[in-house]
Amino acid sequence: HLLYLFLHVQKMSKHTDLTAEVLLEKRGGAGIITLNRPKALNALNLSMIRQIYPQIKTWEQDPETFLIIIKGTGGKAFCAGGDIRAITDAGKAGDRLAQDFFREEYILNNAIGTCKKPYVALIDGITMGGGVGLSVHGHFRVATEKTLFAMPETAIGLFPDVGGGYFLPRLSGKIGYYLALTGFRLKGRDVLKAGIATHFVESEKIPALEKDLIALKSPSTENIADLLNSYHVKSKIDQEKEFVLDEHMEKINSLFSAKSMEEIVKKLKQDGSPFAVKQLETINKMSPTSLKMTLRQLREGASMSLQDVLTMEYRLSQACMRGHDFYEGVRAVLIDKDQSPRWKPAALEEVSDEFVDDCFKPLGNNDLKL
């Protein structure tokens, strides 16, 4: 199951694994970041974050580095998410990692979003959760027919973080709200059509594209855009296919514009179409607390800067670490794999506004500072 992929964790311990989890190299005018945990679908852990962040900052200052490329190894995934298992264990034990992981991950997301050098993410394969945070805030995101995008966090008692509150409400219509609340997966060219990717290139052409990017002499952002466009216009796969959500856009825009989760559910019930019924089934499986948190996160994030969104999301991450549903969601999906989480509270009506307000409260000295 794909949610399992998103949460997949490497079985080998770090000590027996002699290969670096992230490769950082300079080739031509390009700094290249390669996520190198193929068995774990390149899931992002704290030690990788701690290597990537300073390298981006160094390349940003280097006059001989003209662009930064990020990619994954193994052919299956760009990055299937954050290392959820490690965070769960830390959160349960009251370990610092549960604070440090989110704090440092969001600082990295912000570094990507404010990077002064053109940043090119080659999102060839599974790109979910933490992998979206490593790509979506950069200048260029190149999808392929193998790209599989999702923010499936509401299914594990979390929320679409890594700046989801910034980029999701800025997608056209209410697509972002739909993706965030239902965890709907976009594939291939649809990732471009939804506005998440900036370019679409066949997977087999990616090595050639990378070579051409590396070979550019002192390129400007425009030179890089021109090269990406030249590959993009030659890609014919699924060119004629209409956007997977096209036929449902009118419904998505009206149903997901409601101000509360209860109202969204009510509208879905009133609609009664096969599409609406399917969305209800999906939403009913999600953590009610996560759904309420997420809707508010996106509604507020729509008019906030990326920095303010990440500060807000850090507060939410710590609320999830204090709560029940995250640990229960990870248990049900990842550990026992019974796919039957017992959420507390179990119904939307039982998640009080006071509780949700509390999740958004400042953390004083513990707040994320960007």
Catalytic positions are 82, 130, 153, 161
Using DSSP, how many helices (H) and how many strands (E) does the chain show?
A: 17, 10
> What is the spatial distance between Cα 110 and Cα 310, in angstroms, rounded to a whole number?
8
* Bond preceding residue 288 cis, omega within 30 of 0: no
Cα atoms found within 13 Å of the Cα of residue 348, Cβ hemisphere only: 17
> What is the spatial distance between Cα 150 and Cα 183, in angstroms, rounded to a whole number?
6
| DSSP character at residue 257 | T
Q: What pairs with residue 44 in β-bridges?
A: 82
> What is the spatial distance between Cα 78 and Cα 296, in angstroms, rounded to a whole number?
29
How many other C-beta atoms can be found within 10 angstroms of the C-beta atom of residue 222? 9
* Cα R_g (the chain), whole angstroms: 20
Cα atoms found within 13 Å of the Cα of residue 187, Cβ hemisphere only: 8
How many other C-beta atoms can be found within 10 angstroms of the C-beta atom of residue 245? 20
CB 368 within 8 A of CB 109: no
CB 209 within 8 A of CB 288: no
> What is the spatial distance between Cα 76 and Cα 74, in angstroms, rounded to a whole number?
6
> What is the spatial distance between Cα 184 and Cα 297, in angstroms, rounded to a whole number?
18
Q: What pairs with residue 128 in β-bridges?
A: 150
- The full DSSP string for 262-294 is HHHHHHHHHH--HHHHHHHHHHHHS-HHHHHHH
